[in-house]
Amino acid sequence: MSQSSESQLEDVTVAVFLAQEGSEEVEFTEPKDVVTDAGATVDVVGHETGEGRTVNNDLEESESYEIEKSFDEVSADDYDAVIVPGGTVGADTLRTREAGVELLREHVEAGKPTAVICHGPWTLVEADVVDGKTLTSYHSLQTDVRNAGGEWVDEEVVVDDGLITSRNPDDLDAFCETILEEFGAASE
């Protein structure tokens, strides 16, 4: 890379979605830390401001993190890239939040890079942006992806027209590496 890792994304603004409860902690923290460390400006965005309680392995309560902005107070124009973590309950909650789904739809339709992992693709299905796309997710979502017109594949990380998807926390290294590449390329 020609730039240092600290400045690789210095002109990039990223929204990281977080549910009030149930987002998988490592799928939230690791991608967020990677883009922050690369110099991006990062906002944690959710249904409402306040605390977002994460989980480990879907069932064990973990740490709380600040949700800095609500979906209602931001727009797709505010961000160069978006990250959506998984966690069964968190992803299920996020896909029921109309303002968040609309933000995601507008972002993807604008052709901006969007990174989504594990159960997070439920939000993509709800946003109606997977038709004709190839993506991966936690294996139990493959029927949802196919029913929404997408092609589901069992791969560590998949990139299709700015949409970056991965299966689960075991894929985080590849997912984060791909986020840096794709977010960086989009900012050039």
- Going from the C-alpha of 158 to that of each of 20, 35, 41, 134, 172, the distances in angstroms are 28, 19, 25, 7, 12
Phi then psi dihedrals of residue 30, to 5 deg:
-65, -50
Nearest-angstrom CA–CA distance, 168 and 182: 19
Number of residues written out for the chain:
188
Give 181's Cβ-side CA count (13 Å radius).
Answer: 12
Out of 118, 145, 157, 172, the active site residue is 118
> At 62, which helix (H) or strand (E)?
strand 60-67
Asked if 118 is an active-site residue, the reply is yes
Catalytic residues, which ones? 118
